[in-house]
């Protein structure tokens, strides 16, 4: 389980969040741009130091640990594939760093399951957007994270690629029994992926729970355009009028 | 082609002619025999070798001291950062004879700094060390500026991802940040090398000896006139251009291409 409690005051923004993410869950943080979503992820990753608070992973307080020792992998919108390394070198990067803990045969398994066999010799600039996503996810898995943090990784994709990848994300989350915290302002992603939803507004958590409970929480729904869109999409899916 | 483009082509043509005609003109009225004699002249060979050796060490030192400055300016925040960035470029604005006098003033054997180096048997007046620091002084800012550009162009996300995948700050620097900034840094080093080879003013003051190629060109012109200086000038120009273009090509082949792979 991941427990987050953080306060951070910036020049014109104040973040005050407290929530928990269950082990093995797919939790989506939904909110408008500027709600503090990415800042929250960077605090959990250890890239931004909060003014006060605590990040607990399992039974361990990781608040004072540097990013590389927290056991969380951060995946930004740009995906962060190293452009000067081939796909193989990108995938091997975390393995070299965790050589005592990880088995090398995991690489073969992941390459197979993510359909990357024919791409190993290519460079990131030679990949399609869907392939880049798969390489980035595979590399994240190879780092053996306790929690995966996604910072709008699908937001720049075309609709049909996005739907394919969301399906892929669901499958690979279940296969590897991952805990995922996914930040987005896209109600489609939230309605498709979320097992738990956290709604963030102006630096505060205004809702935390099952997506179906959010839909009945009129006050929260009316507070944000993104959440209203999320409700409309979910209603359509529930009525069977919308399928992917 | 629009009228504006035509006008720009004409103006640009004049600019290019201004750059290249003087260089080509050196090779006119140049006899093959005089060129051959110059190439065989041990003093010329020694001078070119001294220039290359000193420029190499000047760039090496600039690399060792300039890359960390470039990194700090590009990737961290600290007071007076903009001021420091401006100061780094000051040697470009200082007349190079003045730079030579400033170096001589600090590094002569009567100052504390001069005496400190003397302790290690390093003197700067009319020695290869003097040539190196004079070259370094005028070319250092090229390496720092190129490092700033190189490090600034590295997407911060790449460094964050590397860290979260388990890499320490040092590992991230050497495996991700530096390799991506390297093509730009090397371009700066090539320019610094070229700038070092062209320095005369500061050398005249602090280290006339051992004679570098550029000092020898100056000396031949002063002592024997324009016609006597032409052959050695031609040799120095060809040698400098050859090295400059070779370094640029090697940079492209081994560093630039790796990060510019297109699908």
Q: How much is the ipTM here?
A: 0.88
Statement: residue A209 has pLDDT above 90:
no
Q: Which of B210, B185, B246, B240 lies closest to B50 in space, CA to CA?
A: B210
A31 in a structural domain: yes
**What confidence category does residue B113 fall into, taking pLDDT thresholds of 50, 70 and 90?**
very high
Q: Which of B103, B101, B98 lies closest to B123 in space, CA to CA?
A: B103
Are A80 and B161 an interchain contact pair (Cβ–Cβ within 8 Å)? yes
Q: List phi, psi (to 5°) of B180.
A: -75, -30
Question: Do strands A180-184 and A147-151 pair parallel, antiparallel, or not at all (unpaired)?
Answer: parallel
Question: Residues with Cβ < 8 Å from A188, sequence gap 6 or more?
Answer: A162, A233
Length of chain A: 244
Q: Give the nearest chain A residue to B169 (CA atoms).
A: A68
Q: What is the DSSP letter of A145?
A: -
Q: Is B256 on the interface with A (CB under 8 A)?
A: no
A171 in a structural domain: yes
Are A47 and B163 an interchain contact pair (Cβ–Cβ within 8 Å)? yes
Q: In Å, how far is A143's CA from the nearest CA of chain B?
A: 6
Q: Which of B160, B259, B263 sits opposite A126 (nearest CB)?
A: B263
A16 in a structural domain: yes
Q: What is the pLDDT of residues A33-50, one digit of tens each?
A: 888 999 999 999 999 999
A234 in a structural domain: yes
CATH no. for residue A176? 3.40.50.300
Q: Give the nearest chain A residue to B183 (CA atoms).
A: A84
Q: What is the pLDDT of residues B7-55, one digit of tens each?
A: 999 999 999 999 999 988 988 878 888 889 999 999 999 999 999 999 9
Q: Give the nearest chain B residue to A128 (CA atoms).
A: B263
**What confidence category does residue B260 fall into, taking pLDDT thresholds of 50, 70 and 90?**
low
Q: Which of A66, A78, A127 sits opposite B157 (nearest CB)?
A: A78
Number of domains in chain A: 1
Cα–Cα dist A79/A76, whole Å? 5
Q: Which of A42, A47, A143 sits opposite B166 (nearest CB)?
A: A143
Are B166 and A97 an interchain contact pair (Cβ–Cβ within 8 Å)? yes
Q: Is B168 on the interface with A (CB under 8 A)?
A: yes
Q: Is B186 on the interface with A (CB under 8 A)?
A: no
Cα–Cα dist A186/A173, whole Å? 20
**What confidence category does residue A222 fall into, taking pLDDT thresholds of 50, 70 and 90?**
low
A43 in a structural domain: yes
A90 in a structural domain: no
Q: Give the nearest chain A residue to B171 (CA atoms).
A: A97
Cα–Cα dist B41/A142, whole Å? 63
Cα–Cα dist A210/A219, whole Å? 16
A30 in a structural domain: yes
* pLDDT computed for residue B263 by the predictor: 35
A140 in a structural domain: no
Q: Is A94 on the interface with B (CB under 8 A)?
A: yes
Please name the residue ranges forming H helices in chain A. Answer: 37-45, 87-97, 105-113, 129-142, 159-175, 187-193, 211-215, 218-223, 225-239
Q: In Å, how far is A1's CA from the nearest CA of chain B?
A: 18
| Residue A14 belongs to domain spanning | 2-71+145-239
Sign of the alpha-carbon torsion through A100, A106, A107, A108: positive
Average pLDDT of span A128-151: 92
pTM for this entry = 0.86
């Amino acid at each position: 389980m991941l427990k987050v409690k953080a306060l951070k005051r910036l020049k014109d923004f104040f973040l005050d969040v407290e929530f928990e993410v269950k082990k093995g869950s797919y939790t989506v943080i939904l909110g408008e741009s500027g709600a503090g979503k990415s800042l929250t992820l960077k605090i959990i990753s250890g890239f931004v130091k909060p003014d006060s608070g605590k990040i607990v992973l399992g039974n361990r307080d990781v608040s004072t640990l540097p990013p590389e020792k927290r056991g969380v992998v951060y995946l930004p919108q740009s995906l962060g594939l190293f452009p000067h390394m081939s796909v193989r070198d990108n995938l091997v990067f975390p393995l070299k760093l965790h050589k005592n803990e990880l088995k090398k045969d995991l690489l073969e398994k992941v390459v197979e399951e993510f359909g990357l066999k024919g791409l190993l010799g290519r460079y990131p600039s030679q990949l399609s957007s869907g392939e880049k996503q798969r390489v980035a996810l595979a590399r994240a898995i190879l780092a053996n994270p306790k929690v995966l943090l996604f910072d709008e990784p699908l937001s720049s994709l075309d609709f049909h690629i996005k739907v394919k990848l969301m399906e892929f994300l669901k499958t690979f989350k279940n296969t590897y029994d991952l805990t995922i915290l996914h930040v987005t302002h896209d109600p489609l992603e939230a309605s498709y992926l979320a097992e738990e939803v956290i709604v963030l507004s102006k630096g505060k958590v205004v809702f935390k729970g099952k997506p179906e409970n959010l839909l009945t929480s009129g006050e929260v729904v009316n507070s944000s355009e993104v959440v209203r869109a999320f409700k409309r999409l979910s209603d359509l899916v529930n009525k069977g009028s919308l399928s992917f | 082609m629009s009228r504006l483009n035509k006008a720009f082509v004409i103006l640009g043509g004049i600019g290019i002619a201004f750059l290249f005609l003087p260089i080509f003109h050196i090779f006119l009225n140049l006899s093959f025999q005089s060129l051959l004699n110059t190439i065989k002249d041990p003093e010329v060979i020694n001078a070119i070798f001294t220039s290359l050796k000193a420029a190499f060490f000047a760039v090496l030192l600039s690399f060792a001291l300039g890359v960390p400055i470039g990194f700090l300016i590009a990737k961290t925040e600290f007071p007076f950062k903009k001021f420091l960035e401006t100061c780094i470029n000051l040697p470009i604005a200082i007349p190079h004879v003045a730079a030579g006098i400033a170096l001589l003033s600090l590094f002569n054997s009567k100052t504390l700094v001069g005496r400190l180096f003397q302790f290690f048997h390093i003197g700067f007046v009319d020695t290869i060390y003097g040539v190196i620091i004079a070259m370094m002084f005028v070319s250092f800012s090229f390496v720092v500026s190129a490092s700033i550009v190189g490090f600034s162009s590295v997407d911060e996300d790449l460094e964050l991802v590397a860290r979260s995948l388990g890499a320490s700050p040092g590992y991230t620097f050497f495996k991700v940040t530096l390799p991506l900034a390297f093509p730009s840094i090397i371009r700066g080093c090539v320019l610094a090398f070229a700038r070092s080879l062209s320095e005369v003013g500061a050398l005249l003051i602090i280290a006339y000896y051992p004679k570098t190629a550029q000092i020898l060109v100056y000396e031949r012109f002063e002592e024997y006139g324009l016609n006597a200086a032409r052959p050695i000038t031609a040799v120095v120009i060809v040698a400098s251009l050859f090295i400059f273009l070779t370094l640029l090509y090697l940079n492209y082949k081994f560093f630039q291409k790796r990060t510019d792979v297109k699908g």
